[in-house]
Amino acid sequence: MQIKESAENYLETILMLQNKKGNVRSIDIANELSFTKPSVSVAMKSFREEGYIIVDDNGFITLTDKGRLVAERVYERHRVIAKALMALGVDEETALEDSCKIEHDISNHTFEKLKEFLFTKGILS
Considering only CA atoms, which of 6, 4, 9, 28 is closest in space to residue 75? 9
- Please answer whether residues 52 and 66 qualify as being in contact, where contact means their C-beta atoms are separated by less than 8 angstroms: yes
Instruction: List pLDDT tens digits, range 43-86.
Output: 999 999 999 999 999 999 999 999 999 999 999 999 999 999 99
Q: Say if CB 24 and CB 61 are below 8 A apart.
A: yes
Give the per-residue pLDDT at 2: 55
Alpha helix locations (H) across the chain? 5-21, 26-33, 37-49, 65-87, 92-102, 108-120
- pLDDT given at position 55: 97
Query: CB 120: neighbour CB atoms within 10 A?
Result: 9
Domain boundary assignment for the chain: 1-125
Taking alpha carbons only, the member of 87, 106, 120, 109 closest to residue 5 is 106
Residue 1 to residue 11: CA distance in whole angstroms:
14
CATH number of this structure's domain 1-125, picked from the four choices 1.20.1260.10, 1.10.10.10, 3.20.20.140, 3.10.450.50: 1.10.10.10
Q: How confident is the model at residue 10 (pLDDT cuts 50, 70, 90)?
A: very high
